[in-house]
Amino acid sequence: MTSTPPASVPPPVVAATATHCPYCALQCGTELVEEGGGGGGRPTIGVRPTDFPVNRGRLCQKGWTAPRLLSAGDRLLGPLVRDHRGGPSRATDWPTALDRAVAGIRAAVDRAGADSVAVLGGGGLTNEKAYLLGKFARVALGTSQIDYNGRFCMSSAAAAGNAAFGVDRGLPFPVTDLEAAEVVLLVGANPAETMPPLMARIAAADLVVVDPRRTPTAERAALHLRTRPGTDLALALGLLHVAVVDGHVDRSYVRDRTTGFDEAWRHAVAWWPERTEQVTGVPVADQRAAVRLLAAASHRYVLTGRGAEQHSTGTDTVSAVINLALALGLPGRRGSGYGCLTGQGNGQGGREHGQKADQLPGYRSIEDPSARNHVAGVWGVRPEDLPGPGRSAYELLDALGGPDGPRALLVFGTNPVVSAPRAGHVTERLAALDLLVVADFVPSETTRIADVVLPTTQWAEEDGTMTNLEGRVLRRRAAVPPPPGVRTDLEVLSALATRLGQPAGRFPTRPEVVFAELAAASAGGRADYSGIDYDRLDRGEALHWPCPRTSGAPHPGTPRLFLDRFAHPDGRARFRPVAHRPGAEPPDDGYPLYGTTGRVLAHYQSGAQTRRVPELASVEPVPYVEVHPDTAGRAGLAAGDVAHVVTRRGRVTATVRLVPHLRADTVFLPFHFPEEGRANLITNPELDPVSRMPEFKVCAVRLERAGGTTSPGPGGPGGSTGAEEVR
């Protein structure tokens, strides 16, 4: 790794704006700098990293190229409408587009009531947008049908964290604490590709990586536990078994700071190492070595990622990993801990303030009478007028256009045509709506089927706040004005709300005004922002929630949770007893392989942004499938061939890459590509019973030759090595 900037380093600064990268939840510190005049009177913008704690002068490829989004050639610059479903879209003005949206909303409500209108949000929206979107759904629309794409991201870790600790924050400690780590166990996480600057924080540690694939992170590991897909839960139970039997449990910590160990152990006692090896494929010696490494270190951390969570057993898997961390005495201690590597830029704040189907601002339950009273008071409505919990994201999408489902959907900041599981079916449900309204800044696969498209501002054109994976509230600052004809999401929500009969003052458009209301609404909640304001953030204060308002000196925020007590009433953490169960769709004669999905270095989420950046698109231009050479040979496939990856739900068309170190029973697809290359055409929507997370990470597949070849892409048949992931 090196902090040397690329050859296109920005010239001397003309003007600079301190802000943060628009991509992952690290929210790396950057400055946007004017490089000269651009088209249409807008300046050309470059970026340089700052010495912000999470990145300290480093950025990944996506961060370095983020300003390219501002000049995307197909940027949405004016509203679009369709005169009838399935017809061509045409340009129109804002009043016409907004009136069309409101007419469709009113028609749906008149036909079937408030819940016939639904809202789907995104984990990339600012705190202000997420908050106002939740308020808009529950007050202006009166619907319970709101959820967000964070349900597809870390909802399982959130459920497990709440159960264990009484509160969910991705990292309950600052990222910089990881620099002292001697050992880090990464379960289903690949930060070398998904969060490259984080690797500098753990560079000195011995990494123990649990992953079916030999990812760039696993290549750097002291120990790679290569599990069979869908068996991380069994491995976690087995590691707890080893910890107990080999005498590595911190008995005084378990006695003084936790409850429920005995019941959790009753579930793990049957997972002796040999049985664990038989189920997971991880050798007994490696199981014991992993536990010894963790137990012997003074500073050690356990971190989970999407690979552990995106299963129908995701909550139980993360709970089993937390049980291991508790048994070793890690959480709530300086120099050790458990955390979840939140994925989306505002995946943390996005769920804290009202986008999630069952939550009100401040991470409050929508079914809690006191929470409803408090939030209703801030909003100036009656508590009884607030709806109850609605459907989770996939259940909401699955119900669209059905006999009891919503007839109209408003989408802000997400692209479900690509990102939702069983994507072909979801696309059909979207097509069955009477009205689909999408607010976005570039055309996406979802905007292309929308009845109304509302063009919104990008990250560098707006003010607001984000909350990164360590619970730190950050200021996003506008560096350039938006193009004429483009509005902020706050302005869009306000315009829709007033057309629906709401007082204009109830839906403000200035971010700092919205944030002040958010802070008041969060007061007393688990995610309490009431002591935070723009003035404190603009002065550079490092404010981690909870940060309540105080009568005396301002609260300093809480960078480290749980040092004195956990958030349960008795102050103790909870072991959560869990039992292994296999994935919902094991391989069989018709579909003999495991299919798994994930991210790659050059792209982000559905790819709607990164596929528009030439430097990134050229690295990974086409969909591909990683296959072991022996597996490919049995299917009659060679490097560069075009293959179909087929499941019971559909098929993906992708170029074959031969990867000798991949498991022979597994194929891997990145999920960033559109159309026939959508990995989520084949993923299984089986849901976790607690978190309602779909099973993205494992399904039964077969390979078929499609006929024809394409270029295997950079790096030859094996693809890009990821060796230049951070500079």
CB burial of 97-135 (b: ≥16 within 10 Å; e: otherwise) equals bbebbbebbebbbeebebbbbbbbbbbbbbbbbbbbbbb
> Which residue stretches of 328-422 are H helix?
347-352, 369-379, 393-399, 416-419
Q: What is the mean pLDDT of residues 177-184?
A: 97
pLDDT digits (tens, 9 = 90+) for 286-310: 999 999 999 999 999 999 999 999 9
- Separation between Cα atoms, residue 619 and residue 169, nearest integer Å: 34
- Separation between Cα atoms, residue 642 and residue 638, nearest integer Å: 9
Q: How far apart are the first and last CA of the chain?
A: 6
Three-class secondary structure of residue 581 per DSSP: coil
Strands 408-412 and 29-37 turn out to be unpaired
pLDDT digits (tens, 9 = 90+) for 522-541: 999 999 999 999 999 999 99
- Is residue 89 scored above 90 in pLDDT? yes
pLDDT at 286: 98
- Separation between Cα atoms, residue 102 and residue 92, nearest integer Å: 15
The residues that bridge with 652 in the sheet, in sequence order, are: 645
Regarding predicted confidence, which is higher, 341 or 10?
341
pLDDT digits (tens, 9 = 90+) for 653-670: 999 999 999 999 999 999
pLDDT at 713: 36
Its pTM stands at 0.94
- Is residue 49 scored above 60 in pLDDT? yes
pLDDT at 521: 98
For all residues of the chain together, what is the average pLDDT?
93
pLDDT digits (tens, 9 = 90+) for 225-256: 999 999 999 999 999 999 999 999 999 999 99
Secondary element (H or E) of residue 520: helix 511-522
Q: Is 589 exposed, middle or buried (0-12, 13-18, 19+ CB in 10 A)?
A: exposed
- Is residue 393 scored above 90 in pLDDT? yes
Regarding predicted confidence, which is higher, 11 or 380?
380
pLDDT at 34: 87
> Which residue stretches of 269-356 are H helix?
273-280, 284-296, 306-309, 314-327, 347-352
Q: What is the mean pLDDT of residues 405-413?
A: 97
* CATH fold of 593-718: Barwin-like endoglucanases (2.40.40)
Regarding predicted confidence, which is higher, 12 or 538?
538
Residue 87 pLDDT grade (very low, low, confident, very high; cuts 50, 70, 90): confident
pLDDT at 342: 87
* CATH fold of 155-340: Dimethylsulfoxide Reductase; domain 2 (3.40.228)
- Separation between Cα atoms, residue 423 and residue 415, nearest integer Å: 11
* CATH fold of 16-71: N-terminal domain of TfIIb (2.20.25)
Cα 23 versus chain centre, distance: 10
- Is residue 82 scored above 50 in pLDDT? yes
Residue 35 pLDDT grade (very low, low, confident, very high; cuts 50, 70, 90): confident
pLDDT at 86: 80
SS (H, E, C) 595-617: EEEECCCCCCCCCCCHHHCHHHH
pLDDT at 437: 98
The residues that bridge with 90 in the sheet, in sequence order, are: 81
Regarding predicted confidence, which is higher, 73 or 560?
560
pLDDT at 483: 94
pLDDT at 264: 98
Q: What is the mean pLDDT of residues 119-140?
A: 97
Q: Where are the domains of the chain?
A: 16-71, 80-152+346-509, 155-340, 593-718
- Separation between Cα atoms, residue 340 and residue 439, nearest integer Å: 30
Alpha-carbon torsion (139, 142, 147, 148), positive or negative: negative
Regarding predicted confidence, which is higher, 603 or 708?
603
pLDDT at 560: 98
- Is residue 545 scored above 80 in pLDDT? yes
**% pLDDT > 70, the chain:** 94
Does this chain's domain 16-71 share its CATH topology with 80-152+346-509? no
- Is residue 37 scored above 70 in pLDDT? no
- Is residue 720 scored above 50 in pLDDT? no
Q: CB neighbours of 383 closer than 8 A, spacing ≥ 6?
A: 369, 372, 373, 376
* CATH fold of 80-152+346-509: Rossmann fold (3.40.50)
Quote the tokens at residue 370: 């006191």
Q: What is the mean pLDDT of residues 276-290?
A: 98
Contact criterion met (CB below 8 Å) for 522 and 540: no
Q: What is the mean pLDDT of residues 438-450?
A: 96
- Is residue 517 scored above 50 in pLDDT? yes
pLDDT digits (tens, 9 = 90+) for 617-640: 999 999 999 999 999 999 999 999
CB burial of 472-495 (b: ≥16 within 10 Å; e: otherwise) equals bbbbbbbbbebbeebbbbbbbbbb
CA proximity to 210, closest of 192, 184, 186, 180: 186
Cα–Cα separations (whole angstroms), residue 135 to 138, 151, 284, 501, 508: 5, 19, 52, 14, 11
Regarding predicted confidence, which is higher, 31 or 345?
31
Q: What is the mean pLDDT of residues 707-716?
A: 41
Q: What is the mean pLDDT of residues 167-192?
A: 97
pLDDT at 39: 55
Strands 29-37 and 16-20 turn out to be antiparallel
